[in-house]
Amino acid sequence: MIRPRLQIAFLTGPVHPYSAALHPRQKRFLAQLQERLRGNPGSERDPISCASRSASDVDVVWVNRDFPYPPSTAAWSPTPLWRASLRNARNFLGARSKRARTHHREHLITFFEQASMTVLLAGSCGLELLAGLELPEAILSRVTIIAYAPVARRPLPRTRLITVRARFDGLSLLFFPRVDYLISGGHLDTLVQPKFLELCVAVIHPLLSTEGRSHPSHATAL
């Protein structure tokens, strides 16, 4: 089986105990991104993702589940903001624990091995969750991370990391006073900002070339 050149996935903290289904806002964003990258939304689907051909005839996998990318999941259902906030706080505090690595590390290594390159749309504490897994350098070197509204104790080394924060995002400001890009809105507004979509297109499009050129690393200061 030939693995695809690129897979694109969200990585945010799980806020529902039984579901890793994408939020409708995440689904809409992926659909807009796929359209901008001239994918074919009518191609075959498998239980975890829908694969399509890009304009440059390169395999792209659009992952339709969130972290930790289980083989099956319950349907999405609304979670009250206060409960989601509490669970994200728990995700953040436990991200670098041995328990988190035991539960997710090997599964995530297998997930990244499915494609030659991976782009992660890491929202809020998603960057912290990934850092806590202590993945091998060989894996991280093939991952590009677009961290939006980032909340993390320190950025990941040896990765292509692009950080994006909204101007009125006070939570992310505490952890990332300086970022690569500032956009409009608050902590929960990134996926509806046209500038963020344009940024993602600019980062991902070079990865679709037949040469497989990578986006240059961005140094992020805390």
pLDDT band at 221 (very low <50, low <70, confident <90, very high): very low
Residue 71, pLDDT > 90, answer no
Q: What tens digit of pLDDT does each residue of 130-183 get?
A: 888 888 999 999 999 999 999 988 777 667 999 999 999 999 999 999 999 999
Query: pTM here?
Result: 0.80
Higher per-residue confidence, 81 vs 193: 193
Lookup result for tokens 């796929």: 34
Assign residue 193 a region (left: φ > 0; alpha: ψ between -120 and 50; beta: otherwise).
beta
Instruction: For residues 36 and 21, give the distance between their C-alpha atoms in angstroms, rounded to a whole number.
Output: 23
Instruction: For residues 82 and 219, give the distance between their C-alpha atoms in angstroms, rounded to a whole number.
Output: 33
**Strand order through the sheet with 59-63:** 49-53, 59-63, 6-11, 117-123, 143-148, 160-166, 181-183
Report the chain's mean pLDDT, rounded to a whole number.
Answer: 78
Assign residue 82 a region (left: φ > 0; alpha: ψ between -120 and 50; beta: otherwise).
alpha
Whether 164 and 183 have beta carbons less than 8 Å apart is answered as: yes
pLDDT number for residue 45: 37
pLDDT number for residue 76: 59
